[in-house]
Structure 1
């Protein structure tokens, strides 16, 4: 482990990357123990290690403030996604510093964010300062696999740890956008929630040397994948998406500005035109529920016609009043009644599971303006942008406690760079400059928030 200063985000991130917390299985307790060791020199902290099992632990640390503001929550997850099947230029768990970039799984999602948070708190302490109010740092488990052992468990089993907190800062969920050569700093004010299903297809199987009978699971699979490929569920534009598109269009030159406004005001629900493909798909995903087949499981024998196939579907439901029942109705309409009757569906994960669990509409008050102001001051040539994220994070669970959650971990990277697109991909990395920039912004927030 590194012996560097507690206020050095680079060495801290390198150490965190070297702790393998691929989920599954997670083993987040290793990260927890490492951070607790780094904090052991301080006797003013309230430290709690909690989890449904010893190896799936989350860390809750309360840093004392001056008592002139409510507590503030900083939350981030210590688990990371697998690297199986990916080809990396540098080993994904070595945390190498190469040409001013820190390479490794979790460098941006989101051990880099945890390094920013921990370092900003350390810098305040080293300067002899305290934040306006207590700061609760939640380093949680299991975000990458539905949060069952992490934020969801904490909110339901230990809500008292978050009493009195009004605002929270967490990850942006890869919600950055690049258009018109401008640098935008996302401030996520709304996000979708996960709704994952396992579809089971059953039918006649047998020896693959013979002609297959009608209605095999393979035949059903072909029909299912065809129905779900290159199609869109119905449009539902909410207030968060409307404001995002309005503010985005105001910062763009005329051709792109007109294209974004056309998407915002399109009552005919046409495919977005006049935008680069990546941005068109991202924006379109914010205007509707989405579903993608991601995992197919069946026999591994080439000479067997399988009698059963399962397909995992990654569904994402819009925030607000949109329900799982609405999503299922749209999905079955897409699949068609005949195929829908032949398959069975098992709910694997839903981000929020009961009707009353809804994230409130975004709040654009003083705290949001503080985030935007810090961003403008730190990077005058860029634009802070209220964003809705097509992904889901732990913010949805903390919001159930009445906490206003914002995804805000600013990174100063060149317009058009690929860093934000590398989440869950090979060669994930973060520039040292971006890590320092985010740490400086968070340190400013810890001094200024009210």
Structure 2
């Protein structure tokens, strides 16, 4: 089964999150696995929020991918985002990199082994809701113990010669400021502006970015290598702070009632990515102290996570990468987040590795090369074979 064709067909099945309805895309994957003689179960924790797992779990290796994607507008795309356009080099469209391409490479690898007469010694999980934190996806499967701790590859997009063994932490929250309204002609002598309270709070969030967190000596080499890989991907120098500092994004701000009224309400939604050495819960406590009169509601609070670089799964996937690309691969840590953090917390030894153009993650003209899709499939095949005995 060609991962190029599978990727294109997956892209054409809309699974935007929100709303996160994955019924059709899970049915498509189920049909493929059924044709290979692999029994599966659809796990639906909420209407339309479907996951698919192989009925036989508990293998030494789990291959995992999410099937939901972030929404896309048509404007600005070279090809319509849900067309799954295939040209001589790329498959284009929303999810090609994040991460329907990775799911396609998993399916292609399993199919190749079955067609060889090999019964793959691997469990599979295709999950929903990764793009919104996984409440009906990975969290539900873990809570119900429907997948079991093992070595694990999540087919998230990574550099072709650098598997990812760790992710930064996350502190995502909303803040509701309440001011004292009054006539605008008297402000700032009379009244308290919720908009200005939010502005002052954002200044504090900006200051957090300038903090230095010491790097544990055991991680220095990984951080150094990850910085070089990140700089190569984005063709930009000076990106070390992405890995070693708190990165911040006030993604949504809304407030005020009218231009001539001192604002009574202002709402913020903030996303912070936390480096190793920064404790998410301690940081949230500090943030609450900085805005004691505001209502702060966290939605995701996670510390950075890491699979030890000497783990067996890390060595096995590096061996396959080295053989295919004739390189000496080294693992990296990542600036973003994924379902890996939830799996590690439950005892899984997780590596991320998959096809994609990382520059187009959540962006216009998202795409993946045919070569990356097929090479990832070959590497997955090699790793699965290494677990056969």
TM range (shorter): 0.7 to 0.9
Change in 2 beyond 3 A, CA 1:207/1:111: farther
Alignment of 1:93-172 (within 5 A): 93-131=82-120, 133=121, 135-157=122-144, 159=145, 161-163=146-148, 165-172=149-156
| Residue in structure 2 matched with residue 409 of structure 1 by the alignment | 354
| 1:43-85 C-alpha deviation (Å, 9 max, x unpaired) | 4x23111132130111101579xxxx94310111011112248
Out of 54, 68, 71, the residue aligned to residue 47 of structure 2 is 54
Q: TM-score, normalised by structure 1?
A: 0.76
Match among 17, 42, 52 for residue 11 of structure 2: 17
Distance in 2 (alpha carbons) for counterparts of 1:444 and 1:311? 47
Q: Secondary structure at the match of 1:97?
A: coil
Instruction: Please report how far the alpha carbon of residue 378 of structure 1 lies from its aligned counterpart in structure 2 after TM superposition.
Output: 0.9
Name which of 20, 24, 28 aligns with 1:30. 24
1:229 aligns to 2:206 (yes or no): yes
Consecutive unaligned residues of structure 2, counting only runs of 5 or more, are: none
Per-residue deviation, 1:25: 0.6
Among 287, 312, 318, which residue is 2:269 paired with?
312
Cα distance in structure 1, aligned partners of 2:332 and 2:84: 30
Question: Which consecutive unaligned segments of at least 5 residues does structure 1 have?
Answer: 1-6, 177-183, 261-271, 353-357, 412-418
- Residues 42-441 of structure 1: pairs in structure 2 closer than 5 A: 42-43=36-37, 45-62=38-55, 70-84=59-73, 87-131=76-120, 133=121, 135-157=122-144, 159=145, 161-163=146-148, 165-172=149-156, 176=159, 185-205=161-181, 213-229=190-206, 231-238=209-216, 241-245=219-223, 278-281=236-239, 283-298=240-255, 305-318=262-275, 322-329=278-285, 331=287, 340-351=291-302, 359=305, 362-380=308-326, 382-409=327-354, 419-441=357-379
Q: How large is the RMSD of aligned CA atoms in angstroms?
A: 3.1
Distance 1:98 1:198, change over 3 A: same
Query: When the two structures are aligned, how many residues end up with a matched partner?
Result: 384
SS at match of 1:52: strand
Shift of 1:248: 6.3
CA contact under 8 A between 1:14 and 1:102: conserved in structure 2?
yes
Displacement after TM superposition at 1:385 (Å): 2.4
TM-score, length-scaled by structure 2? 0.87
Q: How far apart are the structure 2 equivalents of 1:210 and 1:17?
A: 55
Residue deviations 1:115-156, cap 9 Å, x none?
Answer: 00011101111121223x2x1111001000011111011101
